[in-house]
Amino acid sequence: MAIKTIPASRGPAKTSGRDRAERKLAFRMTAPSLVIMALVAAVPIGYAIWLSLNQYSVRTAGLSRFVGLENYINALASQEWWAAFGQTFLFAGLSVSLELVLGTAMALLLNLAFKGRAVLRTVVLLPYAIITVVSAITWQTMFQPNMGLVTNVLSALGLPGGDVVWLGEHGYAMAVIVMADVWKTTPFAALIILAGLQVISAETYEAAELDGASKWQTFVNITLPLLRPAIVLAAIFRTMDALRVFDLPFVLTRGANGTESMSMLAYTQLRENRLVGEGSALSILTFLTVMVVSVIYVRFAGGNIRDVAKEEQ
Amino acid sequence: MSTLIAERPTAELTTGRKAPKRRLRGESKLHPLVWVFVVAVMAFSLIPFYWLVNTSLKKGASLSQGELFPSQPTLENYLVVFQNPEFLLALRNSVIIAVVTTTVALVFASFAAYALARLKMRRKAMILTLILSVTTFPAIAIAAPMFSIWREIGLYDTLLGLIIPKLTFALPLAIYTLTSFFKEIPRELEESAYMDGATPFVAFRKVILPLAVPGLATTAILVFISVWNEFLLAVTLTTSPEARPVPVAIAFFSGTSEFDQPLGTISAASVIITVPLVILVLVCQKRIVSGMTAGAVKG
């Protein structure tokens, strides 16, 4: 380890010397991680941009022709891209809002003191441990026609939906994909929101109680505003994840019935159709979309969070 | 994005351990409606697990009729899975990939996290922002060019070819989680090490690192789960069973050569790889919670 070679002579007596040693050490300690991330993130993205400007196919290996922005123009003019774009945002909007509402409710529940809270916390956390592919398979088995739990129970109760081929129709397939995501990742949102909930001071509630506020009033006027930073943070993490969605539609529908996400479309062009240039252009477009959304989030929610921070101080 | 997280008002306080006592007061009796909600949440979390296990124990008519309880439970699906050489290879691949990636990420991340948590450093905010921005990359943006690069240099469809890009996503997660754990260790400990003549690196290795073992363990669990779970890079950068990890193998599982739905065997395979992770969550529940909230909330 090269780090060990830092001269031990820089004694504690000279503070400025220690400062310099510290900065040097800090640089050496962070450099390996930064170099790995730069090599494996920045270089490939640069290469992806280059590939996206070329007509390049694995079928005709080695043959590549510079075509400028043609791949992007084709992608942006195609129905497939906008369909995938719309589906991804529909999925993200539905699943993230459900996860935030359910997550907040779960967090409030986990914050209550009652016998069995530890059990509840463990149970709630279990879906987090399941890998996404397995979660997709689990939900697939539940919605199988004739043999699935949900379809059987719906039929037995005489409710509609029992004889629906859930994964064979756009709206229903989307619903199953959203449910599978909500099931697996609500615990994550709940834990972030719970952490935010636990810092709201007891005095705040006592003051509200003295003022004669009802439980609902307390929740709307005190808990929710103070919880906003935690909820926004959960929303950011979950939205970024949802916009990159791949595993769930891949396993549940293989992208059929209009459930293809942006990442899936790029993957299909790249791996199945062997169109490296087009696939790269689509992956760069996906990347840009996620970037733009994260910048918008930080602009709006970031200021939001700072305001709340000021109020609390 | 880092500023957003660094400035979170809850930052110092959300260790999740020091919940004010007040909330325990007079709330031992829950409203019946709240109990209904508790039960609903439990059912929502557990029923899919039940159905997965149930499906894995059924064959033939019992499977295709979707019995709520298997009338003739059988372990045949499990036998089929364990006799499937591709599944065993996938299991081996996943273990190697997850263990190597987690170990390497932890070593490098502990250095970086210590520097970011404790040492004086130029452009710290910028570096934190850069690291966090890596986590927002969609994996497909890396997977597409990696597919081409790896094919040219011979890393396509190899374990190493998967470990390298997975490391890129494991590192920021590990750095963020560890930074928050390092921040919790009292500063006086290093100061006294300096008094004894230790250099900052010696203080880190001899004083801080041993104290950070619980934080390292927590981070290792989180990184392991996320690497084990990762699918897009795995499916893009592999093509043969020799390099495929578990999630990809399961997604492409064809089951037996029978004509009936391979759902039974797929479910059995899913149960097999879920059990260790569920045990991990049951045993390390507190660690996972503190790690998830620390990494995410405290930054």
pLDDT tens string, chain B, 299 residues long: the values are 333 333 334 433 444 444 444 444 444 567 888 888 899 999 999 999 999 999 999 887 777 777 788 888 889 889 988 998 889 999 999 999 999 999 999 999 999 999 998 888 888 888 888 887 887 788 888 888 898 889 889 999 999 999 999 999 999 999 988 988 888 888 888 888 888 888 888 888 888 888 889 889 999 998 999 999 999 999 999 999 899 999 999 888 764 444 455 888 899 999 999 998 888 888 888 888 888 777 655 43
Report how far Cα B56 is from the mean position of its chain's Cα atoms.
25
Who among B68, B134, B281 is closest to A125 (CB)? B281
Hey, are the CB atoms on A302 and B151 less than 8 Å from each other?
no
Please give the ipTM for the structure prediction: 0.83
Hey, are the CB atoms on B63 and A138 less than 8 Å from each other?
no
What residue ranges do the domains of chain B occupy? 85-246+275-293
Cβ atoms of B250 and B270 within 8 Å: the answer is yes
Q: What distance in Å separates the CA atoms of residue B218 and residue B224, rounded to the nearest whole number? A: 10
Which is nearest to A138 in space by CA: B61, B50, B279, B86? B50
pLDDT score recorded for residue B256: 47
| A275 secondary structure, DSSP code | B
Sequence-distant (≥ 6) Cβ neighbours of residue B102 within 8 angstroms: B170, B220, B223, B224, B227
- Per-residue pLDDT tens digits for A237-294: 899 999 999 999 999 988 888 889 999 999 999 888 888 888 999 999 999 999 899 8
Length of chain A: 313
By the 10 Å C-beta count (0-12 exposed, 13-18 middle, 19+ buried), B196 is classed as exposed
Helix ranges restricted to H, chain A:
15-37, 43-52, 70-77, 79-111, 117-129, 132-142, 149-156, 170-197, 202-210, 215-218, 224-243, 247-252, 262-267, 276-312
What pTM value is reported for the model? Answer: 0.85
Q: Tell me the count of A-B CB pairs closer than 8 A.
A: 363
Residues of A in contact with B48 (CB under 8 A): 127, 135, 138-139, 142, 183
CA dist A216 → A221, A223, B27 (Å): 8, 10, 16
Q: What distance in Å separates the CA atoms of residue A89 and residue A203, rounded to the nearest whole number? A: 41
Q: What distance in Å separates the CA atoms of residue A205 and residue A203, rounded to the nearest whole number? A: 5
Q: Tell me, yes or no, if B52 comes closer than 8 A to chain A by beta carbon.
A: yes
Hey, are the CB atoms on B66 and A290 less than 8 Å from each other?
no
Hey, are the CB atoms on B119 and A294 less than 8 Å from each other?
no
pLDDT score recorded for residue A42: 86
Ordered DSSP codes for A35-89: HHHIIIIIHHHHHHHHHHTEEEBSTTTT-EEE-TTHHHHHHHH-HHHHHHHHHHH
- Per-residue pLDDT tens digits for A97-131: 999 999 999 999 998 888 888 888 889 889 988 99
Q: What distance in Å separates the CA atoms of residue A266 and residue A222, rounded to the nearest whole number? A: 45
Cβ atoms of A279 and A270 within 8 Å: the answer is yes
Hey, are the CB atoms on B13 and A199 less than 8 Å from each other?
yes
Who among A41, A205, A279 is closest to B144 (CB)? A279
Class of domain B85-246+275-293: mainly alpha
Q: What distance in Å separates the CA atoms of residue B180 and residue B169, rounded to the nearest whole number? A: 18
Q: What distance in Å separates the CA atoms of residue B274 and residue B230, rounded to the nearest whole number? A: 14
Low-confidence ranges of chain A (pLDDT < 50): 1-13, 304-313
In order of their start, the domains of chain A are 78-304 (1.10.3720.10)
Hey, are the CB atoms on B140 and A244 less than 8 Å from each other?
yes
Hey, are the CB atoms on A131 and B51 less than 8 Å from each other?
no
By the 10 Å C-beta count (0-12 exposed, 13-18 middle, 19+ buried), B106 is classed as buried
pLDDT score recorded for residue A63: 63
Q: What distance in Å separates the CA atoms of residue B72 and residue B56, rounded to the nearest whole number? A: 12
Q: What distance in Å separates the CA atoms of residue A109 and residue A221, rounded to the nearest whole number? A: 19
Provide the shortest C-alpha distance from residue A225 to chain B (in Å): 13
Residues of B in contact with A236 (CB under 8 A): 1, 4
CA dist B210 → A1, B34, B193, B205, B213 (Å): 18, 43, 14, 8, 6
Provide the shortest C-alpha distance from residue A179 to chain B (in Å): 10
Provide the shortest C-alpha distance from residue B224 to chain A (in Å): 11
Most B CBs within 10 A among A4, A60, A141, hence the mutation to make, goes to A141
